[in-house]
Amino acid sequence: MNNECHSMEPLIYLYRNGELSPPEKRTILNHTATCSHCREILSQLHDFDLTLQPLREEQPLLSPASQSIINETMSRILHANTSVTRVSGTEEVIERFAIWLKPAIGITLTALSILFTVQQSVDVRKVSRMEENINLRTITLQRANAKEQLNIRSFGSERLLNKEAINGYLPHFEASIPVPFLMSGLSDLFQHDTGLLEELAKKYPDIATITLDDGLDEREKQILSTEGNALLKDIEQLIHQGEQKQ
């Protein structure tokens, strides 16, 4: 089989009527006139064609088993209760849309629920952390207050209520601790009735106007240097009186 035979092969196998164009038929005829190999192939193919001819003329016959095709098919159709009612074009579009819409809605709702739950848990954690921080700060503040109260008591019991001690003591106060703390500290220190403090407050009204939040301005320093000094002296006297009575 030479190269020309190889190129002819696709045409040789399309030997039946209507498969080749007239020019292609002429090409094959010309080639097979001189090539015995391809002529033999063509001859065998024609032989096969003749052999198959009776099959083409056979009328379709059904065996007894295949007779039941009709009954079984109709039974399946009726059993399935398939409706032939055709929907309108719009309804069909809506139906097709609905087919994927339902799962899409389901998935979206599920995703939103998950996101909500996650966000809630994140918020809860944030809130609890904030609460913890607040509690910690409150405790710290309370401890600081208690410590300061302790300092004042010990400070007072050692009779270190002099000008320098108070000036040295003042920085112990945090800037946020207001004057009422000083008054309550003095109350504890002297264990007097509120009458004494009221008298002292009346006697030294300017001291009550001093605030420690923003430090001491010139006016406040002036008040402390005058009324404050006087208050110290009064307290010294009271302490001295109290010792003598004992």
Partner 1 sequence: MMLSVSDIQDRKIPELIHRSLEGDHHAFRSLLELEHKYAYFLAIRILRDEHSACDVVQEAFIRVWNNLDRYKPEIKFTTWLYKIVVNLCYDKIKMETRRRKIFGSLDALREKEAEDIADGNDPGLAIDRRELCDRIIAAAEDLPPMERIVFHLRDIMDMTVSEVAEVVGISEPSVKANLCYARKRIRNVVIAMQKEPL
CB of 119 to partner 1, least distance (A): 48
Cβ distance to partner 1 smaller for residue 91 or 131: 91
Helix ranges, the chain (H): 3-12, 22-34, 36-57, 69-80, 89-157, 163-169, 179-190, 194-203, 218-223, 229-245
Rounded to a whole number of angstroms, the minimum distance from the CB of residue 100 to partner 1 is: 21
Interface with partner 1 (CB under 8 A)? 1, 9-10, 13-14, 16, 18-19, 40-41, 43-45, 47-52, 54-56, 60-63, 65-66, 68-70, 72-74, 76-78, 80, 82-86
Joined together, the tokens standing for residue 7 give 């190129």
Task: Tell me whether residue 74 or residue 170 sits nearer to partner 1 (CB atom).
Answer: 74
Query: Angle 149-198-182 (CA atoms, 0-180°, nearest 5)?
Result: 20
Taking the least distance from each CB to partner 1, the nearer of 56 and 245 is 56
Helix/strand/coil for 60 = coil
Q: How far is the CB of 14 from partner 1 (least distance, A)?
A: 6
235 in helix, strand or coil? helix
Q: Which is nearer to partner 1, 70 or 124 (CB)?
A: 70
**CB burial of residue 152 (10 Å; 0-12, 13-18, 19+):** buried
The minimum distance between CB 116 and partner 1, in angstroms, equals: 43
Cα four-point dihedral sign 231, 235, 241, 242 = positive
Smallest separation (angstroms) from partner 1 to the CB of 16: 8
Contact 239, 161 (CB under 8 A): yes
**54 or 195: whose CB is closer to partner 1?**
54
